[in-house]
A and B are shown apart, each in its own frame.
Chain A
Amino acid sequence: MRIAVLSGKGGTGKTFVSVNLAVTAKNAVYIDCDVEEPNGRLFFKPQNIKEDEVHTLLPRLFEEKCIGCRKCVDLCRFNALSLIKNKPIVFQEVCHSCGACSLVCPTGAIYEVERPIGVVESGFYGTVQVVTGILNVGEASGVPVIRNALKAENAEKKTMIIDCPPGSACTVMESVQTADYCVLVVEATAFGLHNFKMVYELVTLLKKPCGIVINKGDHVYAQLESFCKENNIPVLCRIPYKEKLARIGARAGIACEEDEETGEQFLALLEKIKGEVEK
């Protein structure tokens, strides 16, 4: 079972929900796809870490083979190549590593080299495998790192918790692509609802079943409730605001292990998700 946790708005509690779900499931793989700012590892402090470098491909030129035919420049849909004095030059930040230029080159003048853009770390917190995608600072796209992090496939059919990046851009689509179910963490505010609608549209478009967790949901926000009702979105769980939880979070503790009520809540949440997936 692959569960993706996403939110639209940053800071609603994706990592909080993901970490606690993984710990509750025990036999789980937690994958941090928020590669620009992965912070699940701050809570897990995983042991026995193994690192794998992530590369992307970049075209290079055998100048003596190039006949200046311009096919590569004209084909590149990202406009990452230009032809100056009959030789192509490559703009590496614009290149999407699709490889089309090397395929179309009639003389084999273009070859591809690997360029490191980040790492995927894998370690353990008890029985929970903790996988963290980390994008190098200044890199434009985290998609290749996410793709590699998600490859941490498990043969034992463990529960997989995918902690997604905020927003609803390419990185989020990549993160939820293989998910069986999406948990949308929502904040009961106007801003929270606005961004929730965007991710809800995204998961609907990708035809993923989903349910919501309302974080700091002590009070009823009528617009959110009616939106969920109208669209038949199940409210899986409401986590009330508690100073105790904030304190646990601030020192990077794991709430379901330290607070009994929260522990029970996550157990119930995990069961509900399993039920929804089986539907």
Chain B
Amino acid sequence: MKIAIPVNEMRVEAEVCVSFGRAPYFLFYDTESRETEFIPNPAAAAQGGAGIKAAQAIVDGAANVLLTVRSGENAAEVFHAAKIMVYKTTKVTAKENIDEFEKGQLAQMTHFHAGFHGKI
């Protein structure tokens, strides 16, 4: 299984970024091989539709699961269509949240906030 997490820095001990769409990097963690990979978020500086573009990067990275502080409803629609499960983080660092997830301690996200864009 592949887990994706928005992070502030390119290390496993990095803090989970409070924004999904505008996070600087995404961490991908493979639960079988225990390998990690970091990619820059292509939507970090997008003018609009950042959540959609960021979600696309998660889909393209072939993640099965996303651990995040929050997510917008457009991104949620992408995850739903791509059958990616979204879980809410409870700890500060990416590593801590991976451990929590593997212990089955994280709950699925039920609330997705409305978009901030397109309301000009």
Which residue numbers of A lie inside 8 Å of B, CB to CB?
Answer: 73, 76-85, 89, 91, 93-94, 140-141, 169-170
Q: Contact check: which of B49, B59, B77 meets A79 at CB < 8 Å?
A: B49
B66 at the interface (CB under 8 A from A): no
Complex-state Cα separation, A77 to B42, whole angstroms: 12
Q: Are B52 and A91 in contact (CB under 8 A)?
A: yes
Q: Contact check: which of B56, B74, B118, B120 meets A73 at CB < 8 Å?
A: B56
Q: Are A89 and B81 in contact (CB under 8 A)?
A: yes
Q: Are A94 and B81 in contact (CB under 8 A)?
A: no
Q: Are B49 and A91 in contact (CB under 8 A)?
A: yes
Q: Are B52 and A77 in contact (CB under 8 A)?
A: no
Q: Are B120 and A80 in contact (CB under 8 A)?
A: no
Complex-state Cα separation, A78 to B118, whole angstroms: 10
B43 at the interface (CB under 8 A from A): yes
Q: Are A94 and B52 in contact (CB under 8 A)?
A: yes
Instruction: Point out the residues of chain A lying under 8 angstroms from B118, CB to CB.
Output: 93-94, 140-141
Among residues of B, the one whose C-beta sits closest to the C-beta of A142 is B120
Complex-state Cα separation, A82 to B55, whole angstroms: 8
Complex-state Cα separation, A79 to B53, whole angstroms: 6
A-B contacts, 27 listed (Cβ < 8 Å): A77-B47, A78-B48, A79-B48, A79-B49, A79-B50, A79-B52, A80-B49, A80-B52, A82-B52, A82-B56, A82-B59, A82-B81, A83-B56, A84-B78, A84-B82, A85-B81, A89-B81, A91-B49, A91-B74, A91-B77, A94-B52, A94-B74, A94-B115, A94-B118, A140-B120, A141-B120, A169-B120
Which residue numbers of B lie inside 8 Å of A, CB to CB?
Answer: 43, 46-50, 52-53, 55-56, 59, 74, 77-78, 81-82, 115, 117-120
Complex-state Cα separation, A117 to B25, whole angstroms: 37
Q: Are A84 and B81 in contact (CB under 8 A)?
A: yes
Q: Are A93 and B115 in contact (CB under 8 A)?
A: yes
Complex-state Cα separation, A141 to B47, whole angstroms: 16
Instruction: Point out the residues of chain A lying under 8 angstroms from B43, CB to CB.
Output: 79
Among residues of B, the one whose C-beta sits closest to the C-beta of A81 is B52
Contacts beyond the supplied A93-B118, A94-B49: 11 A-B pairs with Cβ under 8 Å: A76-B49, A77-B47, A79-B49, A79-B50, A79-B53, A85-B82, A91-B74, A94-B118, A141-B118, A141-B120, A170-B120
Q: Are A94 and B82 in contact (CB under 8 A)?
A: no
A93-B118, A140-B119, A170-B120 are known contacts. Are A82 and B78 too (CB-CB below 8 A)? yes
Which 6 A-B residue pairings sit nearest by Cβ, starting from the closest? A79-B49, A79-B53, A140-B118, A84-B81, A94-B49, A79-B52
Instruction: Point out the residues of chain A lying under 8 angstroms from B74, CB to CB.
Output: 91, 94
Among residues of A, the one whose C-beta sits closest to the C-beta of B55 is A82
Complex-state Cα separation, A91 to B50, whole angstroms: 12
Q: Contact check: which of A77, A89, A94 meets B117 at CB < 8 Å?
A: A94
Complex-state Cα separation, A247 to B74, whole angstroms: 48
Complex-state Cα separation, A91 to B21, whole angstroms: 15
Complex-state Cα separation, A20 to B82, whole angstroms: 57
Instruction: Point out the residues of chain B lying under 8 angstroms from A141, CB to CB.
Output: 118, 120
Among residues of A, the one whose C-beta sits closest to the C-beta of B75 is A82
Instruction: Point out the residues of chain A lying under 8 angstroms from B82, CB to CB.
Output: 84-85
